[in-house]
Amino acid sequence: MAGDAGGSVSARPQRIDQVVRLTLGVSLAVAFVLLCVGIVLTLAGRGGVPTTVGGARATLRDVRALEPDGFYVLGLLVVIVTPFVRVVGSAVTFLVERDWVYVAVTVAVLVVMIVTVTLGVV
Amino acid sequence: MTLFLFLLLVAVAVGFLGSMLGVGGGILIVPLLTVVLDVPVKTAIGTSLVCVVVTSSASQIVYAGRGITNPRLGMALEVTTTIGALAGAFAALVLDRRVLFLTFAAVLLYLAVSMGREPRPRSAAAGGGRLPARFVDPATGDEVAYGVHNMGWGLAGSLVAGNVSGLLGVGGGVIKVPLMNLAMGVPLKAAIATSNLMIGVTAATGALVFFTHGFVEPRLAVPTVLGVIVGAQIGSRLAGKVPVAVLRRLFQVLAVVLAVQMAWKGLT
């Protein structure tokens, strides 16, 4: 329609919006639960909130031993990787929709993110 | 416990404001941690980056659920934003940060003034633009239709926004929102929602690097994350119901506060 800037797009959330919502929602919910488990364990007297982040082995050991440190560290890590999960989810959605331009765009974003982290540059 | 509760409450406010205005909260978190709590600056930045990730993620659950975010626009602009951030980190090694702080302060003041003016409505003769989108404004119940214009300017501006983020550690969202609203014809609420989507990506890479280098302290980050999750959920729901003129005014205040902060850093 002339002058109709929105074209034929619906105002309702699209599939990509639902995928974004789902990936972020699940990821944040997992992080929230992990952090809350840590708090419950702290309140139960099993240890305070740490000032440092342990390595992967120490973290997994703490989780198995129900030490709060492991849950705090794992919860924070899940929070931080949430946007990575969202970008991967978006790429898959564009692939399903055969929107090749945005598959390429999303993969490009993911590549730059990985390069940045690999170089250790902030 | 006192510190935990204090940070929790502050984080609720940070998440609330950040989600409403499309920014990440570094403007509030970094000075609070460094000046009030005497936290080393790298640890403060690490905590701030985690805060930005959570603000972005928690608010997107609401914005994406309402279809206000423009995910394709966000993804396209993220390409140059992430490249800009990477370049900014290298540039920080050679550029005089004080000059950058002062320049950024001037840019922010210009943006604060510009945001006080409503963007001119685009005529039908200008065409629909790219990436046509619609959303229902929760405040009015009206359907808002728009197309994206000046994509080249948007990509260039996002490169600058990413660069500034990489150099100075703040300022991604505060550039992206006016960029999309004033230069690209994106309605303010969609610009805020889309900016919120983008800042999480930029911050996540930095946060992961800081985390692996030991600059994210759980004692500070845990209450921040929990508080921001709550605040961002409330703020993003409320933002939809707030009139655009109020959001515009709040954004102006934020830009001025950040400009003063940047000018102070550049002069001292």
Asked if residue B155 lies in contact with residue B76, where contact means CB atoms within 8 angstroms, the answer is yes
Q: Between chains, do B129 and A7 touch, taking CB under 8 Å as contact?
A: no
DSSP string, B4-73: HHHHHHHHHHHHHHHHHHT--SHHHHHHIIIIIS---HHHHHHHHHHHHHHHHHHHHHHHHHTT-S-HHH
- 3-state DSSP call for residue B134? strand
- Regarding pTM above 0.80, the answer is yes
ipTM of the complex: 0.87
Asked if residue B213 lies in contact with residue A121, where contact means CB atoms within 8 angstroms, the answer is no
Highest mean pLDDT among A66-75, B43-52, B129-138: A66-75
Residue A55 has pLDDT above 50, yes or no: yes
Chain A interface mutation, best of B61, B186, B219, highest count of A Cβ atoms under 10 Å: B61
Q: How many residues does chain B have?
A: 268
Chain B interface mutation, best of A112, A114, A115, highest count of B Cβ atoms under 10 Å: A112
Give the separation between CA B220 and CA B205, rounded to whole angstroms. 19
Contacts for B210 with CB less than 8 Å, ≥ 6 apart:
A122, B42, B45, B46, B49, B216
pLDDT value for A121: 54
- B197 at A interface, C-beta within 8 A: yes
Determine the average pLDDT of the residues in B6-23. 87
pLDDT value for B119: 62
Q: Between chains, do B166 and A17 touch, taking CB under 8 Å as contact?
A: no
Q: What is the pLDDT of residues B160-205, one digit of tens each?
A: 888 877 776 665 888 898 899 988 999 999 999 999 999 898 888 8
Could you tell me the two tokens for B242? Answer: 């707030």
- Alpha carbon of residue B153 to chain centroid: 18
Asked if residue B248 lies in contact with residue B115, where contact means CB atoms within 8 angstroms, the answer is yes
